[in-house]
Every structure is written in structure tokens, then in C-alpha cells.
Amino acid sequence: MRTELLQQEATKAVIKAEFDAEEFAAAMGVSLKKLAASVSVPGFRKGHVPIGVLEMRLSKEAIYEEAIDALIPKLIEDVTAEYDLVPVDKPDIKLVHVGKGEPLVVELTFEVLPEIELPNLEEIELERKRVEVTEDMVTSAIAHALNRMGKTAPVDRPVGEGDVVKVQHTARYSDDGELISQGGTELNMLDTRPEVRAVLLGKNVGDECVAEFRVSGRENAEDRPVRYEAKVEGVSEWTYPEKDAEFFKNITGGEADSEEAARGFLRKHIASWLEGKRDEALRDRAVAALVERVTDVPEKMLASEIERYKDVDAKRARERYNMDMDAFLNAAGMSREAYERVAYDSAVAAVRKTIALDALAKELGVELEREDIENEIVRESAAYGVLPDQLLAVYRKSNAFESLAANTRVGKAISMLMEKVRIKDVDEVFVEAVDAVNRAGGADGEGGWQG
């Protein structure tokens, strides 16, 4: 077999491969024997059809196709090794020439990861700010814990600010009557659209109300008018636990039974959590220094990531809100055109990061060991709040060990990167701290300081 590189671009390589007549004839012979064992011909037992009869029975195209299919896997393996290619998908195959007793010529078009020149890792310099836990942060964390432990209880009075209102509703576009959503739902008055909140305030169970407002249209369409009709079926108010010994034990895992002791406990845990957030931000900045070197993105890889992004959003809209994406975007006030831009930009960022980290792992010669995989399973199981064996069972069931290995390889590469970059401690407060605590607070610690 002879190969020739016909075209090389940042994300594409076109290679011609030629098998001489003897090689192709040998492949044809093997394929004919396989076909003879599987094809039924009247007058002959299965598996005992003479080759000559088989050649007359089948079209030459079918025989060629069988032989070519047998040659392609090894061809791809040899070509990618010879030209040091990293394909992102199976190549497109073009048949250039084929004929009995003649050479076979094919062209393979690979979409490949682009080669990038990484910066000198030792010259990447990052500033590490200090973490400062204030009393306001601790107070905020306790307040969030109270809110998360709050419960709703039915009340016999008109709807007020901060209540949770159960309604039967119908939402339609006013211009053509198209249904957006309908059915029973609970509305938290603190999060409800202003126009809807305004007409619900002061209503009693059994009252009906109508709100009218505009939402972004699809694609390039102008905003569209919406008519929202609702009937109040129930009113509930929030009640919160007392800040007693039981409460403080609850939010500290039994480590404190008074506010003073709980504040000390929370101070340490918030500091630890913020240090983790700060270090995560450092890692992101180090990776960003690599990502900026990536200028070319493979089209198939990008298309696949856009599809994955949309699938995740569609699943979330369906499972959390019982909506399709059009209804969800309308409720969120986002046009389809704007969403497509977000999906595209997010996918480009994700692909560029993947390319940069793959190049990093290659440059550092990252190799995985059993211990690396085990540590990654422990880390992910802690993040998801499940036991390592449970997560391992999920990977086995979904046949996702390749994904696990990729995540582990990336994590190890980033750890090695952080050992090489220069980190300078500066006397500045990590400014994201206050917002991070406010987002993280809560008795169950979902994604927060209690982890």
C-alpha cells in the first residue's frame, strides 16, 4: 500500500491510499470466501457455493464493497499513525478507482484536532488573592440555611408578597391564540413575573385574574403579546424554624448547638470552601492561557457539541418545567435566535478547551494508572453525593468508561499544569467571595460550603 498526503489544513487532512492489484485481489478472495459461507444459492448447500457461481450471482459492486470494507479499518489505523493524525470522527471515504485485477485507489478525508503551540508553562504567572471571611458572610450563610429549611403552610387569606400561590392557568399568544402552556402550577410570588404578580396580589381562593404582557418572538420576529389567565386554588405562606440548638446542630452536622459555636464552625468551612473556589478560578485562568492559542475548531466536533448542548437544555426544560424548548424560551423571554447564538458560543468555548487540554496532556506525557481512575471516581462521587460503588455502577451500565478515562486524563493534566505555573500571592481579597457565599448558602449545602 502506498499513501500520499493530498491536502493538509488546520482541521482537515486528505490522504490518497493505493493498494496494488495483488493486495486488492487477495482482499477480494477473502471476501468471496466469507460471502460464500453466508449467501444461499439454489442447488448448493449454504457455505458450499463455488466462487465462480458466486461471482456470477452477485454484482461486482457488492463484492468490491465487501473487500473494501474489510481493508478500511486497518487502512485508517495505519494512516493515522503514519501522519500522526488525531481524528475527531470517522473519515469520509471517496472511491477513486476500483476494478478486478487492478489497483484500488481511495481518498480519506479526516477532520482532525488542530496542532497548537502552547505557551511556556513555567512563564504563566497567576495572582492568588487571599480569602477573607466576614461576619456578614457567616450571617448570610445562616440566613440562607433558614430559608432552605423553610416550609409552606396553607393560609385562609388573600395572596400577599412572598406567598406561594397554587393556580390553574392558561397562557396563549394574543395575536393568534397559539397555546403556550396550561395546567396547574405553583408560583412563588418572589420569583413571579411582575405583570402576573400584580394581578394575583390580594386575590382569594376561587378568584380569577388576567395578565397581559409581551415576550420575545422566535427567530427575528418582533415581541409577541401574551394573555395569561389564572384561577387561584390555594395560598400558602412560608414558616421558618427557630434558631435553637436543634437548628444549629442541623446546619453543622451536630458539631455545634449554639449560635456562637455554629458561627465558628461556619467560619472555618466557608473559608475552606472559598479557598477551593479561588483555586478553581486559578485553574480556569491557567487553562484560559492555553485556550487562547486555539484558533481553529473542527466543524464536526463543533456540530456534535452544539447538539449535545441543546439536548441537555431540552432535557432540563422537559424534566424540571414540563415544557418543550420553544415554551421554555418564551417563558424565559429569550428568542430562538438569541438561544442559537448562546448554544454556538458555548459549544465553541467547550471545543476550544477540549483541544487545548488534549494538547496539554500530550505535551506533559500524561499516562493513566489504576489509582488515577479510582481517585477520579472518589472525587466525582463526592461531588454528586453518592457512594463510589454507586457511581462506578452507573459508568458500567452506561458503558461510559471512555468518558471517565478522558475526565481523569484532563484532571491529571491540569494538576500537572498547576505545578508548573508561577503563582504569586497578593494582598488582595478574593472579590468573588461575597457573591459565592450568597449563592452557596443553604442548610443542605447544595454546591455550597457544606458540600
120 contact partners, CB below 8 Å, separation of at least 6:
none
Three-point CA angle 252, 256, 259, nearest 5°: 95
C-alpha cell at 409: 486524563
Looking only at Cα atoms, what is the longest distance across the chain?
94
240 has pLDDT over 60: yes
280 has pLDDT over 70: yes
307 has pLDDT over 50: yes
Reported as a single tens digit per residue, the pLDDT across 384-398 is 888 888 888 888 887
* Total count of residues recorded for the chain: 451
pLDDT number for residue 448: 46
Q: How is residue 342 annotated by DSSP? A: H
SS3 85: coil
Reported as a single tens digit per residue, the pLDDT across 207-234 is 999 999 988 654 445 678 999 999 999 9
Contact present, 114 and 355 (Cβ < 8 Å)? yes
Q: How is residue 121 annotated by DSSP? A: G
Residue type (1 letter), 48: H
Could you tell me which residues are beta bridge partners of residue 181?
171
SS3 89: coil
Mean pLDDT of all residues in the chain?
87
Percentage of the chain exceeding pLDDT 90: 57
The CATH code for residues 151-239 is: 3.10.50.30
Pick the CATH number of 2-111 from 3.10.129.10, 3.30.70.1050, 3.40.50.2000, 3.90.1150.10: 3.30.70.1050
Answer positive or negative: Cα dihedral of 347, 348, 351, 352: negative
List, in sequence order, the alpha helices (H) in 252-369. Answer: 259-291, 299-321, 325-332, 336-364
Q: Is 200 left (phi over 0), alpha (psi -120 to 50) or beta?
A: alpha
440 has pLDDT over 70: no
d(CA 150, CA 410): 40
C-alpha cell at 250: 442541623
Residue type (1 letter), 93: I
d(CA 267, CA 380): 26
At 142, give phi and psi (nearest 5°): -65, -40
Terminal CA-CA length for the chain: 58
Domain map (residue ranges) of the chain: 2-111, 121-136+260-295+348-440, 151-239
Three-point CA angle 427, 429, 434, nearest 5°: 175
SS3 320: helix
Contact present, 200 and 187 (Cβ < 8 Å)? yes
At 159, give phi and psi (nearest 5°): -65, 135
Contact present, 141 and 158 (Cβ < 8 Å)? no
Q: What is the mean pLDDT of residues 123-127?
A: 96
For residue 444, what pLDDT band results from cuts at 50, 70 and 90? very low
Least Cα distance to 58 among 30, 37, 36 occurs for: 36
Reported as a single tens digit per residue, the pLDDT across 12-40 is 999 999 999 999 888 887 877 776 666 66
Let me know if the fold of 2-111 is the same as that of 121-136+260-295+348-440. Answer: no
The third-level CATH classification (topology) of the domain covering 121-136+260-295+348-440 is: Trigger factor, domain 2 (1.10.3120)
